[in-house]
Every structure is written in C-alpha cells, then in structure tokens.
Structure 1
Amino acid sequence: MSEKRIISIYKSRKKNEMYLYVDKRGGLEKVPEALLKAFGGTQHVLDMLLTPERKLAREDSTVVLDNIAKQGFHLQMPPAEDEYIEHLPEELLRMNDPL
C-alpha cells in the first residue's frame, strides 16, 4: 500500500525527459550505479510531497510511491516519439501537407 512521502525528482543530463524519483531523505543512495552512469549525471528539479491522490503529468503516483518503497527509486522514461506527435494540435500536423 502506498503512503505519502517527500520525494526528490532529478532529471537526466544525458537523456531528454528522463527522470528519477527518490525519497528525499535517502537521495540517490539506493539508485544502482549502472543506472546513474546510464543516466549521464543528474540535475535536481524539485522536492514535493507525493500522495497516492496527487496527479502527476505522466506517471501514476501510486506506482511511483510503490517503486520508491520497494526499490528505492522510480525511473520515468521519455515518452515514445509517437506520443509527441499525438499531442500536437491538428493544425501543426497539417502544416507540411502539400497544398
């Protein structure tokens, strides 16, 4: 069962839109060294109180909390390139259409 906790969010310096969520008290200490290396360095983004009810833009807060409780971190992968296209307004998608 998920519980509320204060978390820190770090973004990758190497991979656009890749984020690590960790418990603020432990920081990055539970993140495997291989993952940190692949992450290409971290940049602290923010600290926040995360509860199961809180809405996150691209993640399920309950899954994030569960992963932090079980493994010490949650990794948010970048969206698939198709997702970028799906969220563009239709008029932008038609801009390259021949007249």
Structure 2
Amino acid sequence: MRLVCQVFRSSRKQEMYLYVDKSRGLQDIPDALMAQFGEATPVMVLLLTPEKVLARANVAVVLADIKAQGFYLQMPPTAAELFARDNGRG
C-alpha cells in the first residue's frame, strides 16, 4: 500500500500530530477530536509505504489506522520517552 499523507500539527498540544490521506484532508476527523486538537496546521506531505521509517510511529500502524478510521493520531511523547530521547537512547 502506498499513500500520500498530509501531516497536521495541533495548535493545542505540542508534539501532537494528525496523519491523513492527503486526498481526503480533514473530512474524516471526528468533531470531538478536532475540538481537542485545535487548529490543524499543515506541516508536511509524505509518501507512506510499508518500507518507510518514521521517527515516532510504526508506518504499518499509521497506514492501517488511516485506512480503517481516516486518520492516525500521534500523541506527544511520554515522560519516559522524553527522558530516553534527552539521554541519547531514543
């Protein structure tokens, strides 16, 4: 599966991102999620393939979520993930 993906950054939560099928945009995002997400600022367009490596997400999960529900929500890192990243382990 190949997918042209648009990534949006949340105006409300640092390091929260929505991945969507670029051709559909934000039309599949539930209103309740958009209310919590805030303004969606486009940050990049990616060609997702099973071979693609993403920094903080498993591409197979991203593709499956976009296919099943119309989006993938990347949450901000946990305290443990931030600690590992800041100490060169993540």
Work out which of the two has the higher radius of gyration on C-alpha atoms and give 1 or 2. 1
- Secondary structure (helix, strand or coil) at the match of 2:9 reads strand
Distance 2:34 2:74 in 1: 13
Please show how residues 79-98 of structure 1 align to structure 2 within 5 Å. 79-89=77-87
1:17-64 alpha-carbon deviations (Å, 9 max, x no partner): 000000000000000011011001110001111001100000000110
Distance 1:81 1:12 in 2: 19
* Equivalences, count: 88
Distance 1:68 1:78 in 2: 19
> Structure 2, unaligned stretches of length 5 or more?
none
Query: What percentage of residue pairs aligned between the two structures are identical?
Result: 44
1:4 paired residue number:
2
> Structure 1, unaligned stretches of length 5 or more?
91-99
Match of 2:22, as an amino acid? Answer: K
Match of 1:85, as an amino acid? Answer: F
What root-mean-square deviation, in Å, do the aligned CA atoms of Structure 1 and Structure 2 show?
Answer: 1.1
Distance 1:54 1:16 in 2: 24
Structure 1 residue ranges (4+ consecutive) displaced by more than 3 angstroms after TM superposition: none
2:32 paired residue number:
34
